[in-house]
Amino acid sequence: MEILEVPASVQQEKGVEQLRGLIDAIHGGGAYDSLPLRLGTSQWDVLADYLTPCSIRTGQVPIQRGVRDRTLYLVESGTLTVHLQEGATGRMRLAVLAPGTVVGEGAFFSGEPRSATVVATRDSRLWSMTYSRFQALAAQHSPIAVELAMACAAVVVRRLAHTTMRVAVT
């Protein structure tokens, strides 16, 4: 995935201010699988140091099925779809991901290859965290890492509980 340049105004912002759009998406997200991440201002300030902003354009693929990559993405804006490839010609859409949710949690925690492909269906802003950054967060700020892990687990449970909807854990 090509990561687009982050605007200078965002680079100058720090902590909570840098993550304001993500925080608002999480707290205001109406999706059934919104990330229930409950952090105080000082905790968001800490978490900001472990996240990397990335902007992706419509049609770009941040996650490719079968790839070994343990990057977790938090969705600030835009729309992503999760697909399984069916043969050489078709795709089956499993889920539509809205702002305030997370994607890539399956491979992030399991270390297994990606189970599906994710495509941006609108220009999107994501925040990424590599597994090594998560390990550093866990070593230095374990309560925040535990809260993030528990919030991701809650998303997985919600997605698996909604069997009438096509869902995926990527």
According to the model, what pLDDT value does residue 11 have? 47
- Predicted structure pTM score: 0.85
Residue ranges of alpha helices (H) inside 7-104 are 8-12, 15-18, 20-28, 41-48
According to the model, what pLDDT value does residue 15 have? 75
CATH class for the region spanning 14-161: mainly beta
> Can you give the pLDDT of all 170 residues of the chain as single tens digits?
444 444 444 444 667 899 999 999 999 877 888 999 999 999 999 999 999 999 999 999 999 999 999 999 999 999 999 988 765 566 777 888 999 999 999 999 999 999 999 999 999 999 999 999 999 999 999 999 999 999 999 999 988 887 665 455 55
According to the model, what pLDDT value does residue 168 have? 56
Please report, for the chain, the start and end positions of each structural domain, with discontinuous segments joined by +. Answer: 14-161
- Cross-strand bridge partners of residue 52: 128
Which one, of 147, 126, 124, 127, lies nearest residue 137 by Cα? 147
